[in-house]
C-alpha cells in the first residue's frame, strides 16, 4: 500500500489557496487550517438516503508523528439500540428525547476509503469507544491506521465514498416524509491535540460537537422540487431537467461543520443586514467608549440574511428577520463583527427533530403556527442559535468536555440581546397547540430571572464543568451548562461592573476567535482584564457542585425593658460598641425616656449554602426603620451565621441582604429580605386563585362520579 504524504503544509496550503481563489472572496482571517473538504452528495428521498464522496486533505499542524486518524461517524448513533446515544436515552428518567421506530433507524457506511494513490485504509479500520464507560457496540468513532506516521507539517489526502440512511425524527438531524435536515452526516476527523492524541468522542445524548476549522466545498444534488439551504454561500446552481435534479454548490472558509436542508415546503426569503442603517453613530460612539476601542474596529459589515421558512409560518417572516438583525447588531457590537457574508436561518422541516440547533453560518429555529406577540418565541431561539456563531462557531470550544463555554456564555449573551432588543418576554401558556393568553397571562420575565430560578435545584447535583455525557441526567446537563453558568456570568458582570465585563467578553472573543479555548483561557482573560484574582469564583461556581445561599434567617423586635431584673454590680459588661450605641441613645433621649419606647431588634443572617465568599468580599445588609432612617451592616460571610443588634426608638420596616442584587447566583433570593408587612395582597391573590382552581377541579370530579 502506498501512502500520499505531500511535502508539507506549504504545498497543501498553496493548492488550497488556489482552489479557494476561484471562489468569491470571503473575508475570513487567513490562519492555518488542518482540514480541507470537498464533498459531493446526492439525496435520494424515496429511500431517505445519501450517496456521497468526500475528498479530505488533513494536515498535521502539531509536532507529533501521528500513526492513525479518528473519524466521527455520528449517524451510527441512530443505527440500533446498543449505540451509546440509544443506551443513554434509555437510561433517562425524565426525558425521552430519542425514540424511533424500526424503519426509522439511521446509519452511515463507508464503502471506500483510500489514500490519493489508491491505498485501501478501510481493511484495517476499527470502531473504537474512547469514552467511559466503554461501549463495544457503539460505531460512532472509527479509527484508521495510516500507512506511515504523519510527520509535523505533512498532509494526507483521503478519498472516501459513503452511503447513509437519514434517521427519521432523529436528534438534531432527520427526515419526515420529503423534508430533510442533514447535519453531522459525513465522516469527520476528530481534533488532534499535540502531545495528547485524538480528541474524538462518541455521539452522546447530552453533548454536542467539536471539530477543526476547515474549508468546505460541497455539491448537493437533490430533486429539483426541493428548496435547499446550506452553510456558507451558494456559488453555483445547475439543473438537470431530464433527470429532474438540481445540483447546488456551496463554499465556505474557516468553519468546522457543514449542515444543509431540503424541503418542498420551504419559502426562501433574503434580506440584507446593513451595519450603517442598523447602528446609529451615537451607538457606535457609546460602544467604542465602553469597550475602549477605535470606532473603526466596531463598524459592522453588511450581511446577507437568508430565511428558509415553512409555508405554514410565512406570516412570521418579519419576526424572524427582526430578531436576526438584533442578534447581528448586538453580538457584532459587543464581541466583534460577524465575519461571514451570509447567515441562513432555517425553520426546520416539520418533525425532523432538528429545531433549535446551531451550525456555522446556518442555524435552525423551530416555531409554531399560533404565536402571541409578547411571547418571545421564536425570537429567543433565533438570537440564541445565531449567537452560537460566536460561541461555538468562531470561539470553538470542546462541546463534549466543556459545554458551558458555548452554551453558558451564549445563554448569557442571548439574555442580554433579548433584554435590550425586546425587554422581558411572557412565559407561554399553551394547551393542545393553542395559546391560552386570552384566558390567563403568565408573567413577563427576563431570561436571567427565569434561568436563575430554574437552575437552582441542580447546583448540588453536578458541577458546571462535568463532561457532557457524565451529567446526572439531561435536566442537570441543560440547567447547569446553560442556565447556572449564565447566572454565574450575570453575577460576575454585576460584581465587576458593565464596562469591565464588556471588555472581558470582547477580549476573550477576539483572542480566541477561530481557536479552541478551554475554561482556563476564559478565567485567565477575566483575571487579566479585571485585574483581580477570580479563580475562587470559578472554583466554587464552575468546578464544584455546591450551592450559594445567604439569607436573613430571623428578625426579632421587642420593646427594650426599662428595668432589668437581677443583681447588678457597678462594672459594665456589654461590648464597647453596644455601650457606645446605647450611651448615645440614652444621651439623646434622656428627657423623653419616660415617654419614648426603645426597640431592640436582632437580625440573624445565615449561610445555608456550602459556598463561602472569598476573603475581601462582603455582603451588605440594608436595614430601613419606620422613621426612614437606614443602617448598613457588612458581613464577610465566612461563618455559618451572624447576628446584628439594633436599638432604635422605632421598629424595623424592612431589611435586605445584598440590596444591589449582585449575587444572582444565590439559589434562594426569596430568603434575602424581610419586611414587617410582606406582600399580603399578592399572597392572598395566589391563594384564592389556587383555592378557586381546586374548587372547580373538585366540582368537575364530583359531577362525574
Partner 1 sequence: MGAISFLKSGFNRAGQKFKLSVYLWLIIMVVCLILVLPVNSQIRTSLGHLSWPEHSLMPFELNLVEIFLVNQNLLASYFNFFLVTILLTVVLAVFLSGGLFGQMINPVDRVSLPGFLAAGCRYFGRFLLSLVLFIPFLMVFFLVFKILSAPLNLWSARAVSERPVILAGWLSLVLLALLWPAFKVILDLARIFIVAESKKVIASYASALKFIGRHFFPLWGLYLLVTLAVVIISAIWLAICRLLSAAQPGSLFVLILFGQAFVLFRLLTRQVLIGVEYSYFSTGKDS
* Structure-block grid coordinates of residue 189: 476527523
> Are residues 655 and 674 in contact, defined by beta-carbon separation less than 8 angstroms?
yes
Q: Check whether the bond before 624 is cis (ω within 30° of 0).
A: no
> Are residues 634 and 679 in contact, defined by beta-carbon separation less than 8 angstroms?
no
Closer Cβ to partner 1, 594 or 702, answer by number:
702
- Name the minimum Å distance from CB 686 to partner 1: 7
- Name the minimum Å distance from CB 151 to partner 1: 53
How far is Cα 580 from Cα 599, in angstroms, rounded to an integer?
A: 16
| Contacts for 248-251: CB closer than 8 Å, 24+ residues apart | 248/219, 248/220, 248/221, 248/222, 249/217, 249/218, 249/219, 249/220, 250/216, 250/217, 250/218, 250/220, 251/20, 251/23, 251/215, 251/216, 251/217, 251/218
- Name the minimum Å distance from CB 346 to partner 1: 16
- Name the minimum Å distance from CB 687 to partner 1: 5
How far is Cα 587 from Cα 644, in angstroms, rounded to an integer?
A: 22
What backbone torsions phi and psi does residue 13 show, to the nearest 5 degrees? -70, -40
* Structure-block grid coordinates of residue 19: 482552489
Closer Cβ to partner 1, 107 or 482, answer by number:
482
527, with CB counted inside 10 A (0-12, 13-18, 19+), is: middle
* Structure-block grid coordinates of residue 87: 443506551
- Name the minimum Å distance from CB 295 to partner 1: 34
Closer Cβ to partner 1, 568 or 704, answer by number:
704
- Name the minimum Å distance from CB 558 to partner 1: 16
Closer Cβ to partner 1, 295 or 699, answer by number:
699
How far is Cα 644 from Cα 600, in angstroms, rounded to an integer?
A: 11
How far is Cα 544 from Cα 546, in angstroms, rounded to an integer?
A: 6
- Name the minimum Å distance from CB 547 to partner 1: 10
> Are residues 72 and 208 in contact, defined by beta-carbon separation less than 8 angstroms?
no
- Name the minimum Å distance from CB 433 to partner 1: 4
Sheet holding 362-364, edge to edge: 266-273, 303-310, 342-346, 362-364, 357-359
Closer Cβ to partner 1, 197 or 356, answer by number:
356
Contact positions vs partner 1 (CB under 8 A): 176-179, 265, 310-312, 350, 368-370, 432-434, 439, 442-445, 449-450, 453-454, 456-457, 555, 654-656, 661, 667-671, 673-676, 678-688, 690-692, 694-696, 698-699, 701-705
Using H for helix, E for strand and C for coil, what is the string for 314-327? HHHHHHHHHHHHHH
> Are residues 413 and 387 in contact, defined by beta-carbon separation less than 8 angstroms?
yes
Closer Cβ to partner 1, 225 or 289, answer by number:
225
Closer Cβ to partner 1, 311 or 580, answer by number:
311
How far is Cα 222 from Cα 43, in angstroms, rounded to an integer?
A: 5
- Name the minimum Å distance from CB 430 to partner 1: 10
Closer Cβ to partner 1, 288 or 450, answer by number:
450
Closer Cβ to partner 1, 228 or 669, answer by number:
669
Closer Cβ to partner 1, 571 or 701, answer by number:
701
- Name the minimum Å distance from CB 705 to partner 1: 4
* Structure-block grid coordinates of residue 361: 453560518
What's the Cα-to-Cα distance from 256 to each of 42, 84, 593, rounded to whole Å?
Answer: 21, 23, 78
* Structure-block grid coordinates of residue 47: 429511500
- Name the minimum Å distance from CB 41 to partner 1: 23
- Using only C-alpha atoms, the chain has a radius of gyration, in whole angstroms, of 30
- Name the minimum Å distance from CB 656 to partner 1: 6
User: Strand 227-230 to strand 233-240: parallel, antiparallel, or no bridges (unpaired)?
Assistant: unpaired
Closer Cβ to partner 1, 265 or 503, answer by number:
265
How far is Cα 285 from Cα 292, in angstroms, rounded to an integer?
A: 10
DSSP H helical segments within 497-632, as ranges? 498-512, 519-530, 535-538, 576-589
What's the Cα-to-Cα distance from 237 to each of 38, 224, 253, 494, rounded to whole Å?
Answer: 16, 11, 19, 51
Place of cell 465568599: 613
- Name the minimum Å distance from CB 555 to partner 1: 7
Q: Check whether the bond before 378 is cis (ω within 30° of 0).
A: yes
**What is the maximum alpha-carbon separation in the chain?**
113
- Name the minimum Å distance from CB 432 to partner 1: 4
Closer Cβ to partner 1, 269 or 450, answer by number:
450
Beta carbons within 8 Å of 474's beta carbon, 6+ residues apart: 92, 94, 95, 97, 205, 206
* Structure-block grid coordinates of residue 148: 506511515
Closer Cβ to partner 1, 233 or 666, answer by number:
666
How far is Cα 169 from Cα 153, in angstroms, rounded to an integer?
A: 42
- Name the minimum Å distance from CB 654 to partner 1: 4
Closer Cβ to partner 1, 285 or 688, answer by number:
688
Give kind and range of the element (H or E) at residue 24. Answer: none
Closer Cβ to partner 1, 102 or 577, answer by number:
102
- Name the minimum Å distance from CB 94 to partner 1: 14
Amino acid at each position: 500500500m502506498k501512502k500520499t504524504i505531500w511535502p508539507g503544509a506549504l504545498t497543501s496550503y498553496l493548492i488550497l489557496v488556489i482552489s479557494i481563489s476561484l471562489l468569491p472572496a470571503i473575508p475570513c482571517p487567513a490562519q492555518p487550517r488542518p482540514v480541507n473538504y470537498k464533498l459531493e452528495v446526492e439525496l435520494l428521498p424515496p429511500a431517505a438516503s445519501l450517496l456521497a464522496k468526500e475528498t479530505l486533505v488533513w494536515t498535521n499542524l502539531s509536532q507529533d508523528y501521528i500513526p492513525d486518524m479518528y473519524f466521527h461517524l455520528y449517524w451510527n448513533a441512530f443505527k440500533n439500540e446498543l449505540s451509546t446515544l440509544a443506551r443513554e436515552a434509555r437510561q433517562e428518567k425524565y426525558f425521552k428525547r430519542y425514540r424511533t421506530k424500526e424503519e426509522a433507524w439511521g446509519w452511515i457506511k463507508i464503502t471506500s476509503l483510500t489514500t490519493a494513490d489508491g491505498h485501501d485504509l478501510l481493511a484495517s479500520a476499527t470502531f473504537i469507544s474512547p469514552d467511559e464507560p466503554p461501549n463495544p457496540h457503539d460505531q460512532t468513532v472509527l479509527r484508521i491506521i495510516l500507512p506511515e506516521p504523519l510527520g509535523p507539517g505533512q498532509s494526507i489526502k483521503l478519498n472516501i465514498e459513503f452511503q447513509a440512511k437519514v434517521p427519521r425524527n432523529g436528534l438534531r438531524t432527520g427526515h419526515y416524509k420529503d423534508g430533510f435536515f442533514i447535519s453531522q452526516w459525513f465522516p469527520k476527523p476528530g481534533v488532534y491535540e499535540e502531545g495528547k492524541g485524538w480528541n474524538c468522542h462518541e455521539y452522546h445524548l447530552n453533548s454536542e460537537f467539536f471539530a477543526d476549522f476547515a474549508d468546505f466545498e460541497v455539491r448537493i444534488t437533490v430533486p429539483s422540487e426541493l428548496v435547499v439551504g446550506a452553510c456558507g454561500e451558494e456559488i453555483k446552481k445547475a439543473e438537470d431537467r431530464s433527470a429532474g435534479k438540481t445540483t447546488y454548490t456551496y463554499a465556505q472558509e474557516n468553519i468546522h461543520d457543514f449542515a444543509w436542508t431540503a424541503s418542498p415546503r420551504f419559502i426562501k426569503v433574503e434580506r440584507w443586514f446593513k451595519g450603517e442603517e442598523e447602528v446609529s453613530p451615537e451607538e457606535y460612539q457609546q460602544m467604542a467608549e465602553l469597550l475602549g476601542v477605535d470606532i473603526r474596529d466596531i463598524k459592522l459589515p453588511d450581511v446577507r440574511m437568508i430565511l428558509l421558512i415553512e409555508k405554514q409560518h410565512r406570516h412570521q417572516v418579519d419576526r424572524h428577520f427582526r430578531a436576526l438583525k438584533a442578534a447581528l447588531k448586538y453580538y457584532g457590537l459587543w464581541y466583534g463583527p460577524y465575519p461571514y457574508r451570509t447567515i441562513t436561518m432555517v425553520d426546520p422541516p416539520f418533525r425532523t427533530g432538528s429545531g433549535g440547533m446551531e451550525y456555522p453560518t446556518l442555524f435552525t429555529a423551530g416555531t409554531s403556527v399560533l404565536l402571541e406577540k409578547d411571547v418571545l418565541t421564536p425570537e429567543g431561539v433565533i438570537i440564541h442559535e445565531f449567537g452560537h456563531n460566536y460561541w461555538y462557531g468562531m470561539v470553538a470550544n470542546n462541546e463534549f468536555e466543556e459545554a458551558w463555554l458555548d452554551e453558558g456564555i451564549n445563554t448569557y449573551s442571548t439574555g442580554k440581546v433579548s433584554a435590550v432588543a425586546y425587554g422581558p418576554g411572557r412565559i407561554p401558556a399553551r394547551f393542545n397547540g393553542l395559546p391560552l393568553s386570552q384566558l390567563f397571562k403568565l408573567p413577563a420575565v427576563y431570561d436571567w430571572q427565569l434561568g436563575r430560578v430554574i437552575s437552582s435545584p441542580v447546583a448540588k447535583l453536578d458541577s458546571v464543568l462535568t463532561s457532557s455525557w457524565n451529567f446526572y441526567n439531561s435536566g442537570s446537563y441543560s440547567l447547569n451548562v446553560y442556565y447556572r453558568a449564565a447566572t454565574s456570568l450575570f453575577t460576575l458582570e454585576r460584581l465587576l461592573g458593565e464596562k469591565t465585563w464588556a471588555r472581558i467578553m470582547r477580549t476573550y472573543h477576539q483572542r480566541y476567535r477561530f481557536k479552541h479555548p478551554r475554561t482556563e483561557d476564559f478565567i485567565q482573560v477575566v483575571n487579566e482584564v479585571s485585574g483581580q484574582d477570580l479563580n475562587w469564583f470559578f472554583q466554587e461556581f464552575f468546578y464544584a457542585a455546591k450551592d450559594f445561599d445567604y439569607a436573613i434567617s430571623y428578625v426579632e423586635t421587642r420593646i427594650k425593658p426599662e428595668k432589668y431584673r437581677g443583681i447588678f454590680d457597678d462594672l459594665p459588661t456589654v461590648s464597647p460598641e453596644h455601650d457606645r450605641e446605647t450611651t448615645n441613645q440614652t444621651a439623646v433621649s434622656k428627657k423623653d425616656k419616660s415617654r419614648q419606647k426603645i426597640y431592640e431588634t436582632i437580625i440573624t443572617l445565615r449561610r445555608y449554602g456550602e459556598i463561602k465568599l472569598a476573603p475581601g468580599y462582603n455582603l451588605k445588609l440594608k436595614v430601613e426603620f419606620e422613621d426612614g432612617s437606614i443602617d448598613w451592616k457588612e458581613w464577610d460571610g465566612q461563618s455559618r451565621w451572624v447576628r446584628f443588634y439594633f436599638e432604635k426608638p422605632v421598629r424595623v420596616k424592612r431589611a435586605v441582604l445584598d440590596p444591589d442584587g449582585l449575587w444572582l447566583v444565590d439559589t434562594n433570593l426569596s430568603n434575602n429580605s424581610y419586611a414587617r408587612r410582606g406582600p399580603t395582597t399578592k399572597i392572598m391573590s395566589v391563594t384564592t386563585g389556587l383555592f378557586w382552581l381546586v374548587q372547580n377541579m373538585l366540582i368537575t370530579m364530583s359531577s362525574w362520579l
